[in-house]
Amino acid sequence: MALERTQSVKVYVTDVESAISFYTESLGMEKRADHPFGEKDRWVTVAPPGDSLSLSLRPADDEHRAGVDTGIQFGSTDVRATAEELIARGVRFTEFPAEQSWGSWMGEFADQDGNTYVLYDRLTD
């Protein structure tokens, strides 16, 4: 049987509760899961409404650090308007959206731990 879909991507954070607040309140994502995992851990996922791919918010440690370039790109039909809305909610853009040489608009923002993401206007491949 072939792989059917990408389900989730791990993002390491220093404080899961703070991350839940940032991703749901500042970015407008939904909390999809919050379940105990092992003796001291929990499984927390968030995602944009209607998206099948979720982010798994995992506690950072010496081996898995927070504050990295995640390589994750979020799509929007109006990157500038989305960026302005996110900034009004307290999201820090490390690169404000600008038109690229190939005609698309892209910007980069960071979460509370410095994990970076791209905001991009290409919603299809």
50 and 19 belong to one structural domain:
yes
107 and 123 belong to one structural domain:
yes
> How does the average pLDDT of the chain come out, rounded?
94
Domain hosting 122: range is: 68-125
3-state secondary structure 39-77: CCEEEEEEECCCCCCEEEEEECCCCCCCCCEEEEEEECC
Strand order in the sheet with 92-99: 69-75, 116-120, 105-110, 92-99
The average pLDDT across 95-113 equals 95
1: in domain? no
Q: What is the pLDDT of residue 55?
A: 98
33: in domain? yes
Q: What is the pLDDT of residue 122?
A: 72
CATH, residue 87: 3.10.180.10
52: in domain? yes
30 and 51 belong to one structural domain:
yes
56 and 93 belong to one structural domain:
no
The average pLDDT across 17-43 equals 94
Is residue 1 a contact partner of residue 48, using CB atoms and an 8 Å limit? Answer: no
Tell me the per-residue pLDDT of 61-80, one tens digit each, with 9 for 90 and over: 999 999 999 999 999 999 99
End-to-end CA distance of the chain: 25
Q: Is 37 a residue whose pLDDT tops 90?
A: no
88: in domain? yes
75: in domain? yes
Our CA angle for 39, 41, 43, nearest 5°, is 125
Q: Is 125 a residue whose pLDDT tops 80?
A: no
Using CA atoms, how far residue 2 sits from 5, 52, 53, 114, in Å, is 9, 18, 18, 35
The average pLDDT across 23-33 equals 98
